[in-house]
């Protein structure tokens, strides 16, 4: 295609094609010689993309089954954003002593283990990957508490160990984006809450995805932030695995919460501490460009 056809290039990139070369002044258009861009995709890259459930239909292998160990390795780094800004929101969670916690999309379950050590009880973690702490990655329960269950969060109401129970805290830590029907999933979460229970939900700042896509697609921030087209991206944890996301604006998120009968009690955008800023200036530079995450404490709307 013509090398200045930004929209076609963006479309191919979104499908996983990469630039392989440029044929200089190869096309004569309206009397002007223009460059052609050559893009390609290798068979194994195409196969890896097809691991995404959107591409192959329900029941297919989940990208997170492959991705989970890479994510946990990256999360373990001293300068990981998870350590610096994403898990500190436990302050929003408050004291968990004696509280029952359901962690939806719990990863390897280590955050839940931390909460149990801090006094939480009757805790359940659910994740589709099945790579849980202490069980060698085979899936299944690692210990009586927390109970870790390999399941799809889109079937929350029927998950063994969850159905028929209530929890003081329901967490979606960087996992809510995988709900195929976000309102239904949140309504289910709401129905699992005890009388004074709340949902703690974190999401990547929607503007971060928009900025990344402007860089990739050569578009403007407004075009990407307000886009409603699904997009895919190679994760920094393993660039062979692509994840697909539905863009959402902050207004979209608030509308979903409201439709699920929840109101925002607290919303926080965690920042690096002064100390971490000094120790990891590259992370501050990254945050200054791409922003971080949003943390919401959501309470059931009385009477809804």
Q: Which residues bind ligand SAM (CB under 6 A)?
A: 64, 68, 71, 75, 82, 105-107, 111, 127-129, 152-154, 173-175, 178
Minimum Å gap between C-beta 175 and ligand SAM is 4
Minimum Å gap between C-beta 172 and ligand SAM is 8
At a CB cut-off of 8 Å and minimum separation 6, what does 282 contact?
79
Q: Are 36 and 59 in contact (CB under 8 A)?
A: no
Minimum Å gap between C-beta 223 and ligand SAM is 26
Minimum Å gap between C-beta 17 and ligand SAM is 25
- Which residue, 34 or 70, has its beta carbon nearer to ligand SAM? 70
Best CA proximity match to 125, nearest among 182, 172, 90, 164 = 172
Three-state DSSP at 107 gives coil
- Which residue, 4 or 138, has its beta carbon nearer to ligand SAM? 138
Minimum Å gap between C-beta 128 and ligand SAM is 4
- Which residue, 108 or 217, has its beta carbon nearer to ligand SAM? 108
Minimum Å gap between C-beta 211 and ligand SAM is 19
- Which residue, 10 or 69, has its beta carbon nearer to ligand SAM? 69
Look up tokens 């929209």; give the residue: 7
- Which residue, 154 or 227, has its beta carbon nearer to ligand SAM? 154
- Which residue, 100 or 202, has its beta carbon nearer to ligand SAM? 202
């Amino acid at each position: 295609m013509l090398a200045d056809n930004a929209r076609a290039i963006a479309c191919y990139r979104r499908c996983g094609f990469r630039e392989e070369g440029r044929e200089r002044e190869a096309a004569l258009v309206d009397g002007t010689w223009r460059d052609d861009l050559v893009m390609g995709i290798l068979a194994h890259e195409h196969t890896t993309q097809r691991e995404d459930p959107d591409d192959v239909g329900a029941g297919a292998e989940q990208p997170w089954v492959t991705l989970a160990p890479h994510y946990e390795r990256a999360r373990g780094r001293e300068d990981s954003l998870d350590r610096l800004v994403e898990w500190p929101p436990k302050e929003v969670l408050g004291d968990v002593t004696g509280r029952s916690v359901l962690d939806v999309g719990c990863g390897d379950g280590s955050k839940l283990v931390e909460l149990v050590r801090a006094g939480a009880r009757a805790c359940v973690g659910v994740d589709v990957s099945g790579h849980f702490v202490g069980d060698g990655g085979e899936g299944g329960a690692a210990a009586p508490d927390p109970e870790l269950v390999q399941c799809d969060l889109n079937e929350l109401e029927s998950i063994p160990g969850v159905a028929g129970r209530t929890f003081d805290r329901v967490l979606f830590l960087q996992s809510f984006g995988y709900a195929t029907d976000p309102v239904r999933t949140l309504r289910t979460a709401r129905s699992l809450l005890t009388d004074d229970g709340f949902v703690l939900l974190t999401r990547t700042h929607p503007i971060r995805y928009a900025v990344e896509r402007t860089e990739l697609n050569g578009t403007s921030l407004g075009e990407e932030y307000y886009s409603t087209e699904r997009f895919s991206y190679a994760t920094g944890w393993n660039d062979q695995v692509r994840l697909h996301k539905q863009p959402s604006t902050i207004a979209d998120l608030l509308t979903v919460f409201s439709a699920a009968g929840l109101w925002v009690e607290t919303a926080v955008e965690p920042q690096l501490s002064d100390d971490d800023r000094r120790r990891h200036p590259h992370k501050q530079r990254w945050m200054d460009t791409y922003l971080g995450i949003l943390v919401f404490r959501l309470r059931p709307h009385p009477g809804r």
